[in-house]
Amino acid sequence: MKTKRLLSLDIMRGMTIVCMIIVNNGGGPQSYRHLGHSAWNGITVCDLVFPFFLFIMGVTTYISLAKTGFAPSSVSLRKIFRRTVLIMLIGWAIHWFANVCYGMGWLDFGHLRLTGVLTRIALCYGVVSLMALFMSRRAMGVTAAALLTVYGAVLLLFNGYENDLSNVNAVVDRFLLSEGFLYTKRPVDPEGILGTIPAIAHTVIGFCCGALLMRKESLEVRLLKLFVVAALLLVGGFILSGILPENKRIWSPSYVLITCGMAAALLAAISYFTDVKGYRKGMAFFESFGVNPLFLYVLGDIAGIILGATHARQVIYDWILGWSVVPELASAIYAVSLMLVCGLVALPLYRRRIYIKI
């Protein structure tokens, strides 16, 4: 099954990677409010980055598997398994590298964070890909709805909105893993085990939107339908937030619907201007990040760890602060500068059509 590549997918994916690098690499202790995650309930701009990536991953998973007609074969299963394990191992290797750089032993695996962004990406990709091979689109949609419903009920019944160790997410994480394998800066791990369940549903929504985008209709009609889906998700999410407030750290059901709605609307808007109207000026920068997303995300993480461990980050931040009277601005300038350095790698790869697949 041949599918036409949509430039908008690479652009939006690139935007999310650019934002990921920026929000992960503040130079100082103070950042602009929207460059930090919400303290608990609520959504900041920073809280949109990861869910947008999972949504786009769902869309591209549909497009990728559609090329083989969603046929479960030994080749496709090996590819899914290999990619899932590889992404997970890379995530763990980054945590190990950070531990070593900050003074822990080379063989100290007792403080290796097993949860994290790449772990969640790997699990969502692997589970949704297998669902796509063995379930109908309708069954996937029903399953996603069921997952969000059950998870929402669990949050309400078992302290899911308490920002302490009594939270069901924290309880499950500490029951299944020792504390050394978890994020411990706050009571609730933002990429914990239980929260991966709604994240899988989140990715399924992206997958279903990918199915809508690939229908045999004019692109304008498909984008109009995507806008309608986005509106329905947003309305449903805001209504649900009256019972289950939007919360990134526990990946609440309302957070899933609202961020998926925003992601669908943004994708439809970008696609209209780039794929329909052909307005592509200035988009090559984001596209360059979008064609090598995970490689550049990892590059940004590794660069940030090295700069922090060698105290170069502090030196650079202090220098920027010397001519910027606002600490938040100095922190933002540092983060944007690191992202632009990654861009010096992204653009040559893009121009030479070198795609590093993970």
pLDDT one-digit tens code per residue, 215-254? 888 999 999 999 999 999 999 999 999 999 999 999 999 9
Does the pLDDT of residue 105 top 80, yes or no?
no
Residue 238: give the domain boundaries: 37-279
- Establish if 337 belongs to a structural domain: no
Does the pLDDT of residue 2 top 50, yes or no?
no
Cβ–Cβ < 8 Å for 204, 141: yes
- Establish if 103 belongs to a structural domain: yes
- Establish if 348 belongs to a structural domain: no
Cβ–Cβ < 8 Å for 20, 49: yes
Of 287, 294, 236, which is closest to residue 260 (Cα–Cα)? 236
- How far is 259 from 232, CA to CA, in rounded Å? 12
List, in order, residues 6 or more apart from 66 with CB less than 8 Å away.
1, 3, 214
- Establish if 313 belongs to a structural domain: no
pLDDT at 35: 79
Specify the long-range contacts of residues 304-311, CB closer than 8 Å, at least 24 apart: 304/24, 304/25, 304/338, 305/94, 305/97, 305/98, 305/101, 306/101, 307/338, 308/101, 308/102, 309/98, 309/101, 309/102
Least confidently predicted of 26-30, 142-146, 238-242: 26-30
Average pLDDT, the chain: 93
Least confidently predicted of 109-113, 154-158, 167-171, 257-261: 109-113
Does the pLDDT of residue 1 top 60, yes or no?
no
The distance of Cα 210 from the centroid of its chain, to the nearest Å, equals 17
Does the pLDDT of residue 181 top 60, yes or no?
yes
Higher pLDDT, 98 or 106: 98
Q: Output the six-digit token pair for 285.
A: 């920068």
Cβ–Cβ < 8 Å for 52, 16: yes
- Establish if 311 belongs to a structural domain: no
Tell me the pLDDT band of 144, cut-offs 50, 70 and 90: very high
pTM value is 0.94
- Establish if 289 belongs to a structural domain: no
Does the pLDDT of residue 37 top 70, yes or no?
yes
- Establish if 307 belongs to a structural domain: no
For the chain, the domain total comes to 1
pLDDT at 225: 96
Cβ–Cβ < 8 Å for 91, 117: yes
Cβ–Cβ < 8 Å for 61, 125: yes
pLDDT at 5: 65
Mean pLDDT, rounded, for 340-345: 96
pLDDT at 61: 96
Cβ–Cβ < 8 Å for 208, 141: yes
Averaging pLDDT over each range in 180-194, 291-305, 314-328, which range is the top one?
291-305
Does the pLDDT of residue 278 top 80, yes or no?
yes
Q: What percent of the chain has pLDDT over 90?
A: 79
Tell me the pLDDT band of 4, cut-offs 50, 70 and 90: low
Does the pLDDT of residue 267 top 70, yes or no?
yes
- Establish if 356 belongs to a structural domain: no
